[in-house]
Amino acid sequence: MKKLYTLLFFSLFIFSASSQTNYCDNFDSYTNLNIPIAESSVNWNTWGELMTGANPSLDDAFMTNNQSYSGSNSLFIDEMSTPIPDIVLLFDTLSVYSLGWKNNTAFNTIQSYDSMPGSFAGNWGALPSTPYTTGTFEYSHMMFIPVGKTGYFNFQAENVPGIEWALEVNLDANGGITMSNTGGASFNCSYPGTGVWFEIKFHIDLTNNVWEVLIDGVSQGVFSNPINRIASLDLYPNANSAYYIDDVCYNYDTTQIILPNLDLALSNINSISGLASQNRDVLVDVINLGLTTITSFDIDFDYNGNLISENVTGVNIPMLSSYSVAFTSPIVLVGGSNTATATISNVNGLGPDNVPSNDASSTQISAVEPTPNKLVVGEEATGTWCGWCPRGAVALNWLEKDYYGYFQGIAVHNGDPMTDTDYDAGMAVGGYPSGYVNRGMEVDPSDFELEFMQKITSPISATFSGLAVATGNIIDVEISATATSVINGNWTFACALVEDSVTGTGGTWYQSNSYAGGAVGSLIDVDGTDWSTLPNWVPDVQMIYRHVARGIQPSFNGGTLPQSSYSVGDVFTQNFQFTVDPSWDISQMHVVGMLINNGQIDNAVSLPVSIATTDKNIISDIDFNIYPNPTNSTTTLFLNLSSEKEVSVSIMSIDGKIIAKGNYGRMYGSHSLTFDVANLSEGIYIVEAVIGQDVIIKKFIKD
């Protein structure tokens, strides 16, 4: 997010007696690149060196001349390095404090201060000035992330590493930055992307707890940090991380800043992305950087020439507190990258505040143009015994909500009562949870969205229509495919049976939960449930399993097509039959047909299972659709009946609880039934229409 105002630190200052500490390193003074940084510099250490006194060669990092922003050298941090580097820069330049690994001096110095601070000055001659808790601190470095890789670094809050993380900074491979800590700090912004050098800088007013982030000199926003102190930098590679660091600089000034009387600033525009034509909600954070409590303000959001506004009244935002504005109206995404600007006005009914330069903020919103009629399939390997597998369930839930109609999740269980042996064997994953998106490379469910965004734009070779009808415990499926490009070679077709809202009783239905207790952070589900607040084993009565794979026909790899080749416009039909266990709920089932090319899914279709009582084809004379979907206010059911039938419609929550029900008597021809869903919570809901002797199940999403 780019800010349209100059640095917040150009404010009023209290000029009292002050001192400064500063340091810069562009890595060009080190002539022998065979000696890593912690063994070359008195200012750089390794994590193990400071924690245990270990030789830094166990987690040191090498400099390189393969990339640099200035001069010849840079520091390279790579998860594939041996050893894996973990480099610490202490924000203190006292000579007795930054001596490197000479006779364990750095380790002894830090550990002595941590355990016996009263004796530190006598033993070592001076106290370290870190961690900094007041004054102003500035840190910056140049960074280069190779294409396809990610970046990570953090700030430590205490002199001894590992006690508390002041801020963790994750840079993904698509230009997104997420900052957080265990205290609840959360901030999102963007960077220019992989394959180019860029500067990331932090201006931190520790006295007033105002943290500002800048990319290439442009402010990305401000936030307050619950862990408002800083002692060191830690450079470490997370999964898939590789990056170069150059021109590292920091400066600490004891000068303290005072705040203006009235100043409400744009803090953050929550990240917005998706597919062209989708609706997205807008959430904007503001922060009170003035002395006066904020009670009202106006805020506009301009995207692609369309303006939405909110008049915020009756609030109480004290000094240095934040407030989130959720706009009532959504925006409709436009393909490509487009600028959106949020603007504050009329603060406390007084017009402009004392610092109008920070009243506007802009961000780039990127939306992908999906391939028409394309459905992407994500198959996740999971099990009730797997403590990390809630991550996969949550990923599938969010993807269904955010990309309904474009993404189909399937949870393939292992070692629990929901296991389908054939489907489970076909997954052949290296660990849990993991899986495949359109049967590409194996990835963690946290990367499913990234894979989805790449695959939703690829061309398709066929479109589909079809029907799945249950008679007794038999489900008959007929799917017709129309070729949109030439099909020949190693093509197959598979059909999966999937059930939602699955429950059971007994210990094997308890879900293991490694997120319990919150030690590894929160895991927020689509309905707001935080898995960190649930027990280590979530009881069966609390568990509702979704997207459960009940079977796949004729096999995981699919069966050959009726012919070896098809031209554009050719139509072929695939038929499948499933036998349903009596304990399964057919009303919660759908089938997923998958056209597979050399082992990877080209395109797919999801069809609800309808229940026939007298004739398999009884629903052929019923046209039943829901629009709009997703919706945030009303949704309309469109019926077209070729013969007169009794009609009743129920709206249910995803766990099967009836929210509303209407009996409409006998109907014939075209009808539209509108439901007000504005007061429903965000999430996925089920529409069950009983039409004559048929039951038709549809889903819709409340945004």
Query: The domain spanning residue 431 has which CATH number?
Result: 2.60.40.10
Condensed to tens digits (0 to 9), the pLDDT of residues 510-544 reads: 999 999 998 887 899 999 999 999 999 999 999 99
Do 204 and 311 lie in one domain? The reply is no
Task: Tell whether the model's pLDDT for residue 561 goes beyond 80.
Answer: yes
- In this prediction, residues 588-599 reach a mean pLDDT of 97
Least confident of 235-244, 266-275, 316-325, 676-685: 676-685
Predicted pLDDT of residue 655: 54
Predicted pLDDT of residue 66: 96
Q: Are 359 and 327 in contact (CB under 8 A)?
A: no
What is each CA distance from 206 to 157, 160, 228, 263, in whole angstroms?
A: 12, 20, 6, 18
pLDDT above 90 as % of the chain? 63
Do 556 and 688 lie in one domain? The reply is no
Do 399 and 469 lie in one domain? The reply is yes
Task: Tell whether the model's pLDDT for residue 121 goes beyond 60.
Answer: no
Residue 389: CB atoms within 10 Å = 26
Do 100 and 147 lie in one domain? The reply is yes
Do 538 and 570 lie in one domain? The reply is yes
Instruction: Read off the pLDDT band of 239 (50, 70, 90).
Output: confident
Taking the C-alpha atoms of residue 344 and residue 359, their distance in angstroms, rounded to an integer, is 5
Task: Tell whether the model's pLDDT for residue 481 goes beyond 70.
Answer: yes
Do 100 and 143 lie in one domain? The reply is yes
Predicted pLDDT of residue 612: 63
Last residue of a domain, which of 563, 591, 611? Answer: 611
Q: What is the CATH number of the domain that holds 675?
A: 2.60.40.1930
Predicted pLDDT of residue 126: 53
Q: Which structural domain range is residue 272 located in?
A: 264-368
Predicted pLDDT of residue 621: 52
- In this prediction, residues 405-431 reach a mean pLDDT of 97
The residue that leads in pLDDT, 696 or 549, is 549
Do 251 and 117 lie in one domain? The reply is yes
Q: What is the CATH number of the domain that holds 143?
A: 2.60.120.560
For residue 251 the two structure tokens come to: 């400066």
Instruction: Read off the pLDDT band of 127 (50, 70, 90).
Output: low
Instruction: Read off the pLDDT band of 205 (50, 70, 90).
Output: very high
Do 148 and 101 lie in one domain? The reply is yes
Domains of the chain: total: 4
Least confident of 61-75, 117-131, 136-150, 291-305: 117-131
CA 487 to chain centre: 36
Which is nearest to 189 in space by CA: 177, 174, 171?
177
Predicted pLDDT of residue 412: 98
Predicted pLDDT of residue 160: 85
Do 565 and 698 lie in one domain? The reply is no
- In this prediction, residues 117-135 reach a mean pLDDT of 62
Last residue of a domain, which of 226, 257, 288? Answer: 257
Do 37 and 166 lie in one domain? The reply is yes
Last residue of a domain, which of 611, 633, 648? Answer: 611
Task: Tell whether the model's pLDDT for residue 11 goes beyond 60.
Answer: no
Instruction: Read off the pLDDT band of 19 (50, 70, 90).
Output: low
Predicted pLDDT of residue 203: 96
Task: Tell whether the model's pLDDT for residue 9 goes beyond 60.
Answer: no
Condensed to tens digits (0 to 9), the pLDDT of residues 354-380 reads: 999 889 988 889 899 999 999 999 999
Parallel, antiparallel, or unpaired: how do β-strands 13-14 and 63-64 relate? unpaired
Mean pLDDT score of the chain, rounded to an integer? Answer: 88
Task: Tell whether the model's pLDDT for residue 618 goes beyond 50.
Answer: no
Predicted pLDDT of residue 94: 60
Least confident of 106-115, 272-281, 562-571: 106-115
Burial category of 46 from C-beta neighbours within 10 Å (exposed 0-12, middle 13-18, buried 19 and up): buried
The residue that leads in pLDDT, 396 or 700, is 396
Which is nearest to 700 in space by CA: 659, 646, 642, 645?
659
Task: Tell whether the model's pLDDT for residue 475 goes beyond 90.
Answer: yes
Predicted pLDDT of residue 1: 33
Task: Tell whether the model's pLDDT for residue 109 goes beyond 80.
Answer: no
Do 147 and 186 lie in one domain? The reply is yes
Predicted pLDDT of residue 112: 44
Least confident of 14-18, 79-83, 309-313, 594-598: 14-18
List Cβ neighbours of 162 (8 Å cut-off, separation of 6 or more): 47, 51, 156
Do 234 and 151 lie in one domain? The reply is yes
- In this prediction, residues 119-130 reach a mean pLDDT of 53
